[in-house]
Homo-oligomer: A and B are copies of this chain.
Amino acid sequence: MSAKKAIPYKIYLEESELPKTWYNVRADMKNKPAPLLNPGTLQPMTAEDLAPVFCEELIRQELDNDTREYPIPQAIQDFYKMYRPSPLVRAYCLEEKLQTPAKIYYKFEGNNTSGSHKLNSAIAQAYYAKQQGLKGVTTETGAGQWGTALSMACSYFDLDCKVYMVKVSYEQKPFRREVMRTYGASVVPSPSDTTQVGRRILEQFPGTTGSLGCAISEAVEVAVSNPGYRYVLGSVLNQVLLHQSVIGVEAKTAMDKYGIKPDMIIGCAGGGSNLGGLIAPFMGEKLRGEADYQFIAVEPASCPSLTRGKFAYDFCDTGMVCPMAKMYTLGSGFIPAPNHAGGLRYHGMSSILSQLYHDGYMEARAVEQTKVFEAAEQFARVEGILPAPESSHAIRVAIDEALKCKETGEAKTILFGLTGTGYFDMVAYEKYHDGLMSDYIPTDADLEKGFAGIPKIDL
């Protein structure tokens, strides 16, 4: 045990060891992710096309497949110092509980008030908006993690922040809403009468409780129709994965410091921001042929975009107002069953991760939610951290792999991303404790309905 404990429970980097650059994995990809398309012309979106919606520097980052290292501006580095480095934790207690020879590590991104990794990109996007002299930004949020992160970032830079929150979440998750208000954001339940698209939807569906697609449409409308505003997004986009590479760069620096090489890296995947960030520098080594790692994306069985989706150009939002992206998708009309509690509900997947998966650099697994909550509770009891349902998808597969090691006797080194905490997800935990949680796997017929909405594009 004492030799084993040569690795501390938690590895914190010194402030001087924190990343100075983000790593752009696209620079090392032979097959680049396909460009965003203008849905009208089917031509790749240019910087000019995107300028009314997004911030200039963020557009540059979005379109740049070549620059390998992006310097992190000093103001963002300073903000990172308030809540980073995030700890790289050796899960000694979990290993002991499982009686596995595997060595399990997790990178824990939940120790900030937004409760997740989302803050890493929120602060970057707010910074570039401020640099551009904007008054504020708009966005949408579902459960509220991204909205909270953006509110914190905007508060720091004195930017106005308008969040369109899916109405059902606004009403059922008042606490997240209050956190956003604490940071000075204005939070509007969507659909609302503050936008044309919102009023139209309210007329058509008077009792609707909203959807992410509708909230995106409202946020985009407000951004493009108010001078000094732009729209920002918390996942899926290339720029977001670039910012989130801070997770992976930190993790790799910490592991290198102790001579640890992971055999497999596991992360949950909704839009892909966490997984893409965590694996970035490791994937870079694999792409350059310098090292090999097994990468596993974990998604809910009820929203299986990688494991059962199609690799195709599709709309990014239900309202079809955004550019089209080539990705693994279930169709922009696909909505997971209402009994699905664990986040990761997005119908598509980051173009970068989709391409890497398509090219065989990454695997994917789909897991059922009761098994996810079982892993969450097991983890909480021995490691002390109450994990977010999203993060618990990765825990599930990490435990499964550690148990396989127990059978084979292999002492594999496993790294997984623990993206956040579950403090605002206790309704789901309650369902699980009360035996009211069920699993749902869409039938092929269910999926076909979603696929039918994917546009037929022959490029």
* A280, chain B: closest CB distance, angstroms: 24
Question: A15: CB under 8 A from chain B?
Answer: yes
Q: Check A380 against B426 for contact (C-beta < 8 Å).
A: no
Chain A 360-401 interface mask (CB, 8 Å, partner B; 1/0): 000000000000000001001111111000000000000000
Q: Contacting A384 at CB < 8 Å: which of B8, B82, B178?
A: B82
Question: A182: CB under 8 A from chain B?
Answer: yes
Q: Check A182 against B433 for contact (C-beta < 8 Å).
A: yes
Say yes or no: A113-B82 contact (C-beta < 8 A), given A8-B15, A174-B426, A426-B174: no
Q: Contacting A179 at CB < 8 Å: which of B79, B83, B89, B426?
A: B426
List the B residue with the shortest CB-CB distance to A424: B423
Question: A421: CB under 8 A from chain B?
Answer: yes
A205 partner residues in chain B, CB cutoff 8 A: none
List the B residue with the shortest CB-CB distance to A383: B82
Q: Check A182 against B382 for contact (C-beta < 8 Å).
A: no
Question: A175: CB under 8 A from chain B?
Answer: yes
Complex CA distance for A445 and B89, rounded to whole angstroms: 55
List the B residue with the shortest CB-CB distance to A93: B82
A interface, how many residues as a size bin?
35 or more
Q: Contacting A113 at CB < 8 Å: which of B81, B152, B174, B386?
A: B386
A21 partner residues in chain B, CB cutoff 8 A: none
Complex CA distance for A112 and B10, rounded to whole angstroms: 13
Can you add 15 more A-B contacts, CB < 8 Å, to A10-B81, A184-B381?
Answer: A9-B81, A83-B384, A93-B156, A112-B384, A113-B421, A115-B423, A152-B384, A155-B381, A175-B427, A178-B430, A179-B423, A181-B429, A181-B430, A182-B377, A183-B381
Q: CB within 8 Å of B: which residues of A? A: 8-10, 12, 14-15, 79, 81-83, 89, 93, 111-113, 115, 152, 155-156, 174-175, 178-179, 181-184, 377, 380-386, 421, 423-424, 426-427, 429-430, 433
A-B contacts, 24 of them at CB < 8 A, read A8-B14, A8-B15, A9-B15, A9-B82, A10-B15, A10-B81, A10-B82, A12-B12, A83-B384, A93-B156, A115-B423, A152-B384, A155-B382, A156-B382, A174-B426, A175-B427, A178-B426, A178-B433, A179-B426, A182-B377, A182-B380, A182-B429, A184-B381, A423-B424
